[in-house]
Copies of this chain bind each other. A is one copy, B any other.
Amino acid sequence: MQGFSYPLSPKGIANLASAPPWHYAGTSINIEFFADPAAAAACLPEGLTLEPDAPGSGAAAFFDWQYSGDHKEYLDPAHACYQEFFVLINARWGNEKVAFCPYIYVDNDAALARGWIQGFPKKIGTIHQTRAFSLPDSSATPVVGTGGEFAVSASSRVGYRIVNGRITLEKKVEDPSALIGRPVVNMRYFPRLTVGQYENPVVHELVLANMLDMQATDVWAGTGELEFPVAVGEELADLNLQRVGRGVRMNLGYTVTEVKTLVDYTA
């Protein structure tokens, strides 16, 4: 039986996630927020602490993604294309500035599988973002330029709206390095299904995402709006946003081949 992830199979082509490299290209809309610091801290795993310089700060990130392996897998767009929404909480790993992802939603099971393997705790949802087309005369598209407005939204699989947001572009950012964000720390986690051991997972480790060959283009920054409506089965609204900051839109590409283990709690 062959394959990298479920389901293994004789030919190794049925698996949701084949072995890396995993190449990603997409358009991102990112909205900075400042949550209630205690609520944000409650979302961090053991080993991470709240960012001391801006406690409660974080971001809601929306991605219109296209995945590929090394063999033009983007030519299977029903598999390759998906939308994603996730929350990042700014944190520290020792002295290192990082961000942690407590909540993330995708509309594609292969993306869910790759996510879990990286430590992204993905659920299925429906996610949308306003798109831009190079059609100067059209009333159906914003411009990627000053004054361009873009909206984002996501709903849980069971049908609750969980986030609404909007950005208005102000200026192009020539050096996006400050905007691409902190290194992401995730928690890889796989439960044990043994009576009395439900809180003793088989896999429980903090890992650092390693995003190779990162490239950002067409980076624009402006203002942001964001809300997390109350939704049954979700805890996003508990972040209790105090303030919303910058909105950013860009194209982003990178490659994933591995994660770096920071700590293995099962050891």
Q: Give A residues with C-beta under 8 Å from B.
A: 1, 4-11, 13-14, 16-17, 19-21, 23-27, 39, 42-45, 64, 66-68, 70, 72, 74-81, 102-104, 108-109, 112, 116-118, 121-124, 126, 128-131, 133-142, 149-161, 166, 187-191, 193-195, 198-199, 202-203, 207, 213, 215, 217-218, 231-235, 238, 251-253, 255, 257-259
Please pick, from B6, B74, B112, the residue contacting A141 in the complex, using a CB distance under 8 A. Answer: B74
| Copies of this protein in the complex | 4
The 6 closest A-B pairs by CB, nearest first: A155-B159, A7-B121, A6-B121, A138-B253, A25-B140, A77-B128
Q: Verify B233–A151 contact, CB threshold 8 A.
A: no
Other contacts beyond A190-B190, A203-B203: 6, CB < 8 A = A6-B121, A7-B104, A8-B121, A8-B189, A79-B158, A81-B130
B residues less than 8 Å from A149 (CB atoms): 72, 75
Most chain B CB inside 10 Å of its own CB: which residue of A13, A191, A233: A191
Q: Verify B130–A74 contact, CB threshold 8 A.
A: yes
Q: Verify B117–A191 contact, CB threshold 8 A.
A: yes
Q: Verify A109–B124 contact, CB threshold 8 A.
A: yes
Q: Verify B103–A151 contact, CB threshold 8 A.
A: no
Tell me the complex Cα distance, A109–B24, Å.
Answer: 23
Also in contact, A190 and B203, with CB within 8 A (given A108-B157, A121-B8, A166-B75): yes
Tell me the complex Cα distance, A42–B244, Å.
Answer: 39
Closest to A104 in B: B7
B residues less than 8 Å from A102 (CB atoms): 1, 7-9
Most chain B CB inside 10 Å of its own CB: which residue of A17, A64, A155: A155
Closest to A73 in B: B140
Tell me the complex Cα distance, A126–B160, Å.
Answer: 11
Q: Verify B123–A16 contact, CB threshold 8 A.
A: yes
B residues less than 8 Å from A133 (CB atoms): 25-27, 66, 251, 253
Please pick, from B23, B117, B135, the residue contacting A138 in the complex, using a CB distance under 8 A. Answer: B23
Q: Verify A190–B213 contact, CB threshold 8 A.
A: no
Please pick, from B66, B104, B126, B194, the residue contacting A131 in the complex, using a CB distance under 8 A. Answer: B66
Q: Verify A135–B80 contact, CB threshold 8 A.
A: no
Please pick, from B5, B7, B42, the residue contacting A191 in the complex, using a CB distance under 8 A. Answer: B5
Tell me the complex Cα distance, A164–B152, Å.
Answer: 25
Q: Verify B25–A74 contact, CB threshold 8 A.
A: no
Tell me the complex Cα distance, A81–B166, Å.
Answer: 16
Closest to A215 in B: B137
CB distance from A38 to the nearest CB of B (A): 10
Tell me the complex Cα distance, A121–B117, Å.
Answer: 14
